[in-house]
Structure 1
Amino acid sequence: MAIPQDSQQDHVRPWPALWALVVGFFMILVDSTIVSVATPAILSDLKTDVGNVIWVTSAYLLAYAVPLLVTGRLGDRIGPKKVYLTGLALFTLASVWCGLTTSIGMLIVARVFQGLGASMMTPQTMAVITRIFPPDQRGRAMSLWGATAGVATLVGPILGGVLVDGLGWQWIFFINAPVGVVGFVLAMRLVPDLPTHEHKFDILGVVLSSIGLFCLVFGIQEGQKYDWGKISGPISVWSLIIAGLVVIAIFVGWQSRNRGEPLLPLGLFKDRNFSLANTAITSVGFAITAMTFPLMLYAQAVRGLSPTKSALLLVPMAVITGALSPFVGRLTDRAHPRYLAGFGLACCSVALFWLSQVIEPDVPIWKLLLPIALLGVANGFMWAPIGSTATRNLPLHQAGAGAGVYNTTRQIGAVLGSAGIAVLMESRLAHNLPAAPGGGSAGEGAFSGKLPQFLHQGFSDSMAQALILPAAVLLVGLLAALLFAKPVRAQDKPSDDLESLRG
């Protein structure tokens, strides 16, 4: 994508700044999915079990999702550039730590620090877009951000497979070191120091939101591992989820009564488009995360493809997403977001329904690639219109808070997608594979690549039926997008931050 010259005025260079931020943003999103391919290698090398290896991903996602409300607000208070650079440094150092670990326990701890670094970086990317781009250019900027998010989730498994096969699992973490150094230097040089806004930290809000989100996300994410039952003593998965919901309800009540400066300004949700965009991005996070599990398991267990070759099935999706992003970005600045986001969400739902109908043990690969290509069209049209609609009317002093909320809902959607698809896959395997007691042995065979021939049809049917769940959830997002209000053109002027910087 060429960098438009018309936006590089005076001393403010929004596009180079955004490209610098995208380097780090891409890296942290890749790390959300890259470990899944390395799971067998980590199991063998660190001599551990599946339950512990699951925590390598779980710890990262928890540490990433839970602090987002706080880190978004932190950027408003001390400056998004400072928070971003601190997060990037922490993420890069933790990545090297991950690669050097020789025990599963230390790897999990290092992944927690990685997640904390990621949580500091993500809200700042959206906040900077909101604050340095005039609204009439924000769509193109958000298209780059959205394309990065869409492509990164697909690149993770591909890159992970290549690195694990060629250099070893440690290199899925070591690769972050040079990328992190380059990203740090670029951000230091190209991202402007934006004016800060005086904020008082809502300490009680921080405590309540952290406890509530931790209990909710942990319960959902680990539910499948504990068979939705007891974790330890009187503590069960459902008690954690319920406790999380109760604490979050108390948090929302406190935010509504806080006459000072709440952590979550509920006034943000008075903006119809902000509320609807959060609903839409939750469904997208759910679907994009959920769809890869049944597709990758089918490719490896039934078709016998290696992890790298399985991930290559997603190449058409990644290529089309990247190719469409500049085009959609230009449209986002001019067209009603209802039509663009609605088209993308509809394409995504149709593609997943289509994929569920063609998955068979002996289906030609090209028949799988057609709906996967349509998923690329969907990704190209979803991310930018939804993201720009969410942030377009935010007050500048609340840009970080709004970005934190938006990214929190996206991450919670991803966790729900991961947990929901696991439950449904297990249910369908138990139903379609009666020869395997409870479906358990078939599931284990899928992970080891030793699925007997006579189970291929039942396993394929199970994965196909599981894909209907994310397809259906996307319909909720589609409804939200169709209710988007037309942006107010009177607000299409350069931001105060941009003007003060040009001063």
Structure 2
Amino acid sequence: MPSNARRRWAGLVFISVAVALIIVDSTIVNVAIPAMVEDLGITSSQVQWVQEAYTLVFAALLLVFGSLADRWGRRRMLLTGVVVFTVASVGAALAPTGEILIAARLVQGVGGAMMLPTTLSLLNATFRGRERAIAFAVWGSTIGGMAAVGPLLGGWLTTAFSWHWAFLVNVPLGIAIVIGVLLTVDESRGAAEPVDVIGAVLSVVAVGSLVFGLIEGRTYGWIVTDRPLEIGGWTWPWQISPVAIAFVIAAAGIAGFIAWGIHRRRTGRSTVIAFGLFRIPSFRNGNIAAMVVSLGEFGLILALPLWLQFVLGFEAVQTGLILLALAIGSFAASGIAGALSGRVAPVAIVRVGIVAEIVGVAAVGFVIAPDASWVPLVPALFVYGFGVGLATAQLTGVVLVDVPTAESGQASGTQSTARQLGAALGIAVLGTILFTTTAADLSSRLDERGVPADQRDQVVSAVVDSAGGAIAGLAESPQTADLADDAKAAFSDGTKYASFAAAGFLILGLFATFSLGAGTRAPEPDPAEASEQV
């Protein structure tokens, strides 16, 4: 193999490690969260925000950094992101409170947003033809596999050491990535055009407001204020809920972003999203499918570790071992997908993968019960992971197959944003389903027992606000042992409904793929957007 080829494939290894770092961190925390709840005393809303702070900023900034990387230098952006991410990981590991932990996760999201679209655009610029298809398959399989390896690694680190190591493990990996990328990856750039600052701000406002509303609706009220929002010494003074206002802001931000982008395109100026790319059927339809599928895929990973540990009583490392079935399924699928490359249409592989995901997630929902065994859960998770491995890698190739190389940064940023926005919405929506259903179910069960209203509300609040962490305390006392059984049953029902909701979103994603494959030839480039790779 020529030295240039060896260097290219070595670069793919380090780029894949960078992708693994990002994805593992988005899932490794799930298994460690119960330990954080006990150590830092964080609430269920903060539990969601520990996850969402990362995913929210990640999704909101992907477009911005994908566009900037084309101008500033893709390798430079990747390396900067790795440094930011690693430093923020140290801050998260040393966080003494839930608030500081969430702040560190926000900064991690900034670093991750610098890294992910850049990894994909570097591959798009480095590889051609069949090599590019293989590189995309490795990239996509890394995402699918690492999403499942994260819980195992987090479980082992949390059990053997402490939850702090779920973040500190990023430090040696970050150092290795920086050295490896400097040695094996060449710099590449796109067109050096001015940055669309207004478009970037509008995209951040729209995504941030939408996810805030979905997470905090059950806390502050969807329309009317149930509990006043407090920031520092300031208290929300109006009867209309801040969540309702957030949704209005999100709608206005989305409309403004689209209108502003179209205006800039018509005047021949650069935009955060290359709107002309949406005239490519594979790009347009693939992004829609990717967003909906991600909504169903990653939301479930929030609920399962909480249920496994707080209801079934598994330790963090045991939880990680159970979820390892996801990773095994995903890696098995990546090998099959590679063997089928060039023989079977990528869209067909995507559809088979999504069907497998639906079957696996639905099976998980049927297995969940307060006295469930882990044995039937493992094959269900394997099938789910197998579907993730098939769908993720091939869908990436479908989305970017016809994108001009000079616009690969914006295109990969858009594709990654679609996925991450779907993941953020999935965590928000399925997390809300989990906790809202648990609260309603537990209230009903306690009412049937004749528990006084004050005590009922106190128990429900303790279980929900602790994301299930209070169940063990209820079980320890003979006076509240029956209430603990009700709490376990209610939390199991909440997890079950979240699983079925995830399967429902995946069904929508399957329907979305029926719009793919209409054509893969890119239209003639728009003069207002055509750019020459430097």
Check whether TM > 0.5: yes
User: Residues 265-276 of structure 1: matches in 2 within 5 Å?
Assistant: 265-276=274-285
Counterpart of 1:251 in structure 2 is 257
Q: Could you give the per-residue CA deviations for residues 91-132 of structure 1, whole angstroms, max 9, x where no partner exists?
A: 112222333344444433333222111110010111112222
- 1:460 counterpart = 2:454: no
The structure 2 residue matched to 1:72, chosen from 61, 66, 73, is 66
Counterpart of 1:495 in structure 2 is none
Q: Secondary structure of 2:469's match?
A: helix
Percentage of identical aligned residues: 30
Once residues 344 and 96 of structure 1 are traced to their aligned partners in structure 2, the CA distance between those partners, rounded to angstroms, is 37
User: Residues 464-483 of structure 1: matches in 2 within 5 Å?
Assistant: 464-483=496-515
Q: Which residue identity is paired with 1:484? A: L
Once residues 312 and 397 of structure 1 are traced to their aligned partners in structure 2, the CA distance between those partners, rounded to angstroms, is 43
| RMSD after superposition | 2.7
- 1:89 counterpart = 2:83: yes
Q: Which residue identity is paired with 1:447? A: G
Q: Which moved more, 1:395-404 or 1:162-171?
A: 162-171
Change (3 A) 1:117 1:477: same
Counterpart of 1:496 in structure 2 is none
Q: Which residue identity is paired with 2:390? A: F
Q: Secondary structure of 1:303's match?
A: coil
Once residues 522 and 342 of structure 2 are traced to their aligned partners in structure 1, the CA distance between those partners, rounded to angstroms, is 14
Q: Secondary structure of 1:366's match?
A: coil
The structure 2 residue matched to 1:22, chosen from 16, 25, 38, is 16
Change (3 A) 1:184 1:378: same
Change (3 A) 1:484 1:133: same
Counterpart of 2:335 in structure 1 is 326
CA apart distance, 1:10: 4.0
Q: Secondary structure of 1:446's match?
A: coil
Counterpart of 2:453 in structure 1 is none
Counterpart of 2:479 in structure 1 is none
- Asked if structure 1 preserves the Cα contact closer than 8 Å seen for 2:357 and 2:387, the reply is yes
Which segments of 5 or more consecutive residues in structure 1 lack a partner in the other structure?
A: 492-499
- TM-score by length of structure 1 reads 0.89
Aligned length: 487
The structure 1 residue matched to 2:309, chosen from 294, 300, 306, is 300
- Asked if structure 1 preserves the Cα contact closer than 8 Å seen for 2:152 and 2:320, the reply is yes
Which segments of 5 or more consecutive residues in structure 2 lack a partner in the other structure?
A: 230-235, 447-455, 476-483, 524-532
Change (3 A) 1:44 1:425: closer
The structure 2 residue matched to 1:116, chosen from 110, 114, 119, is 110
Once residues 257 and 155 of structure 1 are traced to their aligned partners in structure 2, the CA distance between those partners, rounded to angstroms, is 44
Q: Which residue identity is paired with 1:306? A: E
Q: Secondary structure of 1:469's match?
A: helix
Q: Could you give the per-residue CA deviations for residues 146-181 of structure 1, whole angstroms, max 9, x where no partner exists?
A: 121112222222222221222222222211111100
- Asked if structure 2 preserves the Cα contact closer than 8 Å seen for 1:140 and 1:326, the reply is no
- 1:447 counterpart = 2:441: no
Once residues 416 and 337 of structure 2 are traced to their aligned partners in structure 1, the CA distance between those partners, rounded to angstroms, is 21
- 1:132 counterpart = 2:126: yes
User: Residues 65-464 of structure 1: matches in 2 within 5 Å?
Assistant: 65-228=59-222, 230=225, 231=229, 232-234=236-238, 236-258=242-264, 259=267, 260-433=269-442, 434-436=444-446, 437=456, 440=461, 442-443=463-464, 444=466, 446-450=468-472, 452-454=484-486, 456-464=488-496
Once residues 125 and 324 of structure 2 are traced to their aligned partners in structure 1, the CA distance between those partners, rounded to angstroms, is 33
- Asked if structure 1 preserves the Cα contact closer than 8 Å seen for 2:218 and 2:436, the reply is no
Q: Which moved more, 1:182-191 or 1:36-45?
A: 36-45
CA apart distance, 1:240: 0.7
Q: Could you give the per-residue CA deviations for residues 388-436 of structure 1, whole angstroms, max 9, x where no partner exists?
A: 0011111111111111111111111112111211232234334543123
Q: Secondary structure of 2:402's match?
A: coil
CA apart distance, 1:85: 0.6
Q: Which moved more, 1:356-365 or 1:47-56?
A: 47-56
Q: Secondary structure of 1:370's match?
A: helix
- Asked if structure 2 preserves the Cα contact closer than 8 Å seen for 1:268 and 1:402, the reply is yes
CA apart distance, 1:326: 3.0
Q: Which residue identity is paired with 1:480? A: A
Q: Could you give the per-residue CA deviations for residues 357-413 of structure 1, whole angstroms, max 9, x where no partner exists?
A: 232344443222221111122012111110000111111111111111111111111
Once residues 466 and 47 of structure 1 are traced to their aligned partners in structure 2, the CA distance between those partners, rounded to angstroms, is 24
Once residues 169 and 292 of structure 2 are traced to their aligned partners in structure 1, the CA distance between those partners, rounded to angstroms, is 31
